[in-house]
Amino acid sequence: MVFQSLLPPEIFDEAIDHLWDDPKSLEACSLTCRAWVPSSRLHLFRTVRVRNTEDCTSLSLLLESSPVIARCVRKLTICAEYAGFDADGRGMEDDAWVNEASGLLKKLTRVNSLALSRVAWSSLHSETKLAFAELFKTVKYLFLFEVRFDASGDVLDFLSAFPELNELYFHGVSWTHESPTPQLLAPRSQGDEERMHLSYLFLDPRSSPTLVTEWLLNHPSEQRLRNIQLCWREIENSKALGDLLQASGSALERLTIEFPLGLSEESLSQNHLTLAYNTGLRSLDFGGLDASVEASRTFLTNRLFPWVGVMLAQIRSPLLREVTFELKVPDVPDLRLLDWLRIDQELARPLEAEVTKEIEARLPGFRERGILRISCL
């Protein structure tokens, strides 16, 4: 007996879409009606996590029995574990099984989100790397967690293999050797440059920010960065960060920044680091403001975090709506050491008046004739 539905199939598809995070209900839907199988299957296999040899074998058998499932996989996670630690206390990845995934990687042609965890990239077989390289061509969201490379140049070669990359998350990425400077700054082909459109960058405290920052500065993608979240430990090389902020310009909307080792007065006084170019900034977050560490006082002053007031004074964005301070103070009296007066003055600045004054000064003829109208939204 054939069941005739009075509702259009789009209604059923939308109802199934609402069950995207309920696997049991999705399985029930796929067993209830053949017409519901495609929508249910799309959500059931959208996210795939491979953790060991058994997972590799299971997924391979599944794709062999039902090849259409490969087109449903959008988010792929390859997650290894540590088998122990070496004499230096560094984790030893139990990732030999990743080479067994090369066959199934070739079948996953629609992956747009990739996460690699606890993988020693340099230890993978050439065939496995080639299979990954094909997968990289469609990836827009890349998550790297404790991935290890042999040399810094290998990191850049790896990142340059993602022509469609939109978001990059860098957690505890490491390498054993530094590559020669010319290799670090090797240019990409013109075709790849035109396709790069990175908009989100996350660098955690355990990753070297300078390497990735210099890589970005060698590409047009940094001009489209809308969201930057990073922890900058390399205080002696803050100019690279300043160059990145300048290159991002008005495109940058959200900035979360942390200086665990403080920020030198020289970096700010010489304009190595300024927010003046980020005229589209909407949200600014100062993270890791820990009053108990010596780096909280790097200037010749008793004030805590003196660079905060200086950076607030650099802001030229009339769109700023949120400023966050993540403070850690051992005692209430420490709060008094913050330069509250300057912070208040800078946050209360009438930016619209400054913009109007600047434009009027550069258009004296229009201003004298009384036809100049300026509106700051």
pLDDT tens readout for residues 349-362: 766 566 566 667 77
**Percentage above 70 pLDDT, the chain:** 77
- The whole-number pLDDT of residue 332 equals 75
pLDDT tens readout for residues 133-164: 999 999 999 999 999 999 999 999 999 999 99
Least confident of 141-145, 227-231, 268-272, 274-278: 268-272
> Averaged over 258-282, what is the pLDDT?
82
Residues 6 or more apart whose Cβ sits within 8 Å of residue 195: 163, 164
State yes or no: pLDDT of 225 exceeds 80.
Answer: yes
- Report which listed range, 30-39, 159-168, 286-295, is most confident: 159-168
Domain layout of the chain by residue ranges: 1-44, 48-369
> CA separation (Å) from 298 to 92, 235, 267, 294?
38, 11, 11, 8
- The whole-number pLDDT of residue 300 equals 56
Q: Whole-number mean pLDDT of the chain?
A: 81
> Averaged over 249-274, what is the pLDDT?
83
State yes or no: pLDDT of 184 exceeds 70.
Answer: no
User: Which residue from 93, 98, 101 is spatially nearest to 120, judged by alpha carbons?
Assistant: 93
State yes or no: pLDDT of 246 exceeds 60.
Answer: yes
Q: Classify 70 as helix, strand or coil.
A: helix
Q: Which residue has the higher pLDDT, 15 or 172?
A: 172
> Averaged over 55-60, what is the pLDDT?
92
State yes or no: pLDDT of 43 exceeds 70.
Answer: no
Give dist(CA 37, CA 31) in Å, integer.
Answer: 8
CATH 3.80.10 fits 48-369, yes or no: yes
Q: Which residue has the higher pLDDT, 359 or 240?
A: 240
DSSP E strands: which ranges in the chain?
Answer: 47-50, 75-79, 81-85, 91-94, 113-117, 141-145, 148-151, 167-171, 174-177, 200-203, 227-231, 254-258, 283-290, 322-328
CA 214 to chain centre: 15
User: Which residue from 178, 131, 134 is spatially nearest to 153, judged by alpha carbons?
Assistant: 178
Which tokens hold the place of 190?
Answer: 């013109």
pLDDT tens readout for residues 312-346: 988 989 888 999 988 887 777 777 778 788 888 88
State yes or no: pLDDT of 84 exceeds 60.
Answer: yes
State yes or no: pLDDT of 41 exceeds 80.
Answer: no
